[in-house]
Copies of this chain bind each other. A is one copy, B any other.
């Protein structure tokens, strides 16, 4: 009994996350009410509280999970890329593009509902975002040190590159003109061209 109830519970928790994602994306967090969320999941409003402690906690958990998954997956991709700086930089870029390409709703919420977080929750999520940005900053710094990259300002370049590579989630469609691999390659070249050391003749 406990086991069955446990797995039903896990299924319901997943269904709540998924329904919340859809509702928040459609209307924004402030407009989502827990009655609509319960209806979307197909449970009684009162049963929601077996799974979440509050609407705020639900938003925080969703964002925290999004960032924790992104950080862990990024570190795995960097680890798999081997020791060469340019390989790790390419791996970071490719991973970011692929990860964001098909997470339109998650990325929307992670970026634009930050303002809906209570201050302690906000600080925690912003800290996780800083940790993520720090991965790219460290790669750029390393590339400048080895002379492979030429970066006028590391923080501004980091933010600008991330904005560029995240932008794809606003227009990517699975049945579009280009394959995922082509989009990754295009974004990788564009990003690397922005920071690669220029030959003297091209300056």
Contact = CB atoms under 8 A, between A and B. Distances in A.
A76 interface: no
Contacts of A153: 178, 186
Most chain B CB inside 10 Å of its own CB: which residue of A190, A197, A198: A190
Nearest to A201: B199
Interface stretch (A4-12, A24-32, A84-92): A24-32
Contact of A202 (B162, B178, B190, B199): B199
Counting contact residues on chain A (CB < 8 A from B), the size range is: 35 or more
A75 to B, nearest CB: 24
A66 interface: no
Contacts of A157: 186, 190
Interface stretch (A41-49, A54-62, A164-172): A164-172
A166 B165 CA distance: 12
B30 A27 contact: yes
Contacts of A197: 202
Contact of A160 (B29, B115, B168, B198): B168
16 contacts: A28-B28, A28-B29, A28-B30, A28-B31, A30-B31, A156-B183, A160-B165, A160-B168, A162-B167, A163-B164, A191-B194, A193-B198, A197-B202, A199-B199, A199-B201, A202-B202
